């Protein structure tokens, strides 16, 4: 990456951050960070702190304090009013996100944990691990702390599993919420934490969901990107930062865009939003599934067979419905669009310039997680673009509240909507991996639906579809023909496959 492009990218991210603040001001009243104008970060020498506080009358809070310097975000138009820059008070450039956050140091220093702490500020990979661990300690009967894998640089990828531990997992179905494939989109993490907070703060209200579902939340899929964005350079963090691909000596923008690295349609589009060039911000990796972060999510999906999922990003203010990749065709009848539109209509947009809507995509992509889950398992897999990019944290509560109906509707659909729910076994009661072939659903990309090897479970949500005709097939076993309607009750139907006799 050239020096010019790196400076340009840093400027673009920070400008987007500030524009996001500007848009938000028109919709959500709150104590403003910059009143909609472009702001800058000041670096204040320790000997100039007293003058800074006197000149600004304590109206400009510090966002980060070090031994020799303090930092504060200020409106550019007020620089002349206060007479900045001046000796000991200068504009800081190229600083990582922790200097802008305004609450990071306070959050790190907290020694007593309460659930409300997860709503106090933005989170890097350090705080994320800390919070998930203590959420489990605080709610041991309704949560489990999990490590689903490690990043390219060896950092753990933590997750939390929300479910009622007093009820066996045997008949539960899994749902996934994940955030920060692109860790420079820190507001995306807050949507994952909204799921955690709301479910645990209102356990009685959501008792039925805890009983029926295993709700997986992975707030930061890309911990290396989070580390880089927060602590090294705001122009990075979209990728995972691993310098293993391309030139070994490459230092500018190393790593892979994890959400271009999934196997489905990998590298098949000609969009400028996906690239085979290693120093591109959209580098899709040397081969599909090359990254340990991608592999961790794929392994989790294989194990859990998610019935539904939402991946959170920022900040196009829409819900993307699979298949999102150009050149792909959804199965017929389509299982995901009606639900996607219903979710979109439930969201009250906090972005006055763009209505929240359901879309196929916002630009050409390939190798994305939601399309992979939809292709591989029939997961009702959506991607939600938040309405703003990393605004002042005081505005985050209204943003996550406006998008909350998306995940609540999705969970309710899985728990109470029309479904097929089979347990496929042999005559001795052993689980079987069998193929489920629908009679009147057309697939265009070789999609295969199978039961899970561990327990023979097959679950598929069918929003708005009732009559189904299918075959359950396994080599060496008699085919079972099944015809009926989807159901809303939470009861699995046993299907027994019998071995073929030699004469058959």
Catalytically annotated residues:
385
- Burial, 482: exposed, middle or buried (Cβ in 10 Å; 0-12, 13-18, 19+)? middle
CA dist., res. 198 & res. 205, Å (int): 10
220 touches 189 (CB < 8 A) = yes
327 touches 269 (CB < 8 A) = yes
Sign of the four-CA dihedral 241, 246, 248, 251: negative
377 touches 331 (CB < 8 A) = no
CA dist., res. 196 & res. 143, Å (int): 9
Name the nearest CA neighbour of 262 among 240, 292, 294: 294
442 touches 330 (CB < 8 A) = no
How many C-beta neighbours within 10 Å does residue 151 have? 25
Tell me the HSE value of 404 on the side-chain side, using a 13 A CA sphere: 14
90 touches 83 (CB < 8 A) = no
379 touches 373 (CB < 8 A) = yes
Encoded tokens for 83: 């007479």
Encoded tokens for 324: 């999102």
How many C-beta neighbours within 10 Å does residue 225 have? 31
CA dist., res. 121 & res. 123, Å (int): 6
Cis peptide before 323 (omega within 30 of 0): yes
Alpha helices in 176-235 (DSSP H): 186-201, 207-212, 223-231
185 touches 313 (CB < 8 A) = yes
CA dist., res. 321 & res. 380, Å (int): 9
Tell me the HSE value of 63 on the side-chain side, using a 13 A CA sphere: 22
């Amino acid at each position: 990456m050239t020096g010019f492009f790196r400076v340009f990218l840093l400027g673009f991210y920070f400008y987007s951050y500030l524009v996001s603040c500007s848009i938000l001001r028109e919709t959500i009243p709150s104590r403003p960070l910059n009143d909609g104008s472009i702001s800058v970060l000041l670096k204040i020498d320790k000997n100039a702190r007293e003058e800074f506080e006197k000149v600004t009358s304590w109206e400009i809070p510090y966002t980060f304090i070090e031994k020799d310097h303090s930092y504060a975000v200020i409106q550019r138009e007020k620089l002349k009013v206060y007479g900045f820059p001046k000796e000991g008070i200068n504009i800081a450039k190229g600083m990582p996100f922790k200097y802008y956050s305004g609450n990071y140091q306070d959050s790190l220093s907290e020694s007593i944990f309460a659930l409300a702490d997860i709503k106090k500020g933005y989170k890097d990979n350090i705080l994320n691990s800390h919070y998930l661990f203590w959420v489990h300690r605080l709610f041991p009967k309704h949560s489990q702390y999990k490590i689903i894998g490690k990043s390219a640089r060896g950092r753990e990828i933590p997750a939390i599993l929300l479910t009622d531990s007093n009820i066996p997992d045997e008949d539960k179905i899994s749902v996934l919420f994940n955030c920060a494939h692109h860790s420079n989109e820190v507001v995306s993490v807050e949507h994952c934490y909204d799921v955690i907070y709301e479910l645990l703060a209102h356990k009685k209200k959501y008792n039925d969901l805890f009983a029926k579902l295993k709700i997986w939340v992975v707030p930061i899929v890309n911990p290396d990107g989070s580390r880089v964005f927060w602590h090294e350079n705001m122009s990075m963090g979209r990728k995972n930062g691993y310098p293993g691909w391309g030139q070994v000596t490459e230092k500018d923008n190393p790593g892979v865009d994890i959400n271009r690295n999934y196997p489905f349609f990998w590298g098949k589009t000609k969009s400028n939003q996906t690239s085979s060039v290693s120093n591109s911000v959209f580098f899709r990796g040397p081969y599909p599934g090359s990254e340990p972060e991608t592999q961790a999510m794929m392994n989790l999906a294989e194990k859990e067979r998610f019935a539904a999922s939402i991946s959170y990003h920022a900040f196009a203010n829409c819900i993307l419905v699979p298949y999102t990749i150009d050149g792909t065709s959804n199965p017929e009848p389509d299982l995901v669009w009606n639900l996607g539109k219903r979710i979109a209509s439930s969201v009250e947009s906090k972005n006055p310039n763009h209505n929240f809507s359901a879309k196929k995509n916002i630009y050409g992509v390939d190798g994305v997680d939601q399309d992979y889950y939809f292709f591989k398992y029939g997961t009702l897999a959506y991607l939600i673009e938040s309405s703003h990019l990393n605004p002042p944290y005081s505005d985050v509560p209204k943003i996550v509240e406006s998008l909350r109906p998306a995940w609540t509707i999705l969970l309710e659909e899985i728990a109470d909507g029309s479904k097929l729910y089979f347990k496929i076994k042999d005559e001795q009661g052993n689980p079987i991996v069998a193929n489920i072939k629908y009679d009147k659903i057309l697939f265009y990309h070789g999609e295969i639906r199978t039961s899970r090897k561990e327990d023979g479970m097959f679950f598929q949500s069918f929003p708005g579809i009732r009559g189904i005709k299918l075959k359950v097939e396994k080599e060496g076993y008699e085919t079972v023909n099944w015809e009926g309607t989807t159901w809303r009750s939470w009861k699995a139907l046993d299907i027994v496959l019998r071995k073929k006799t030699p004469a058959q």
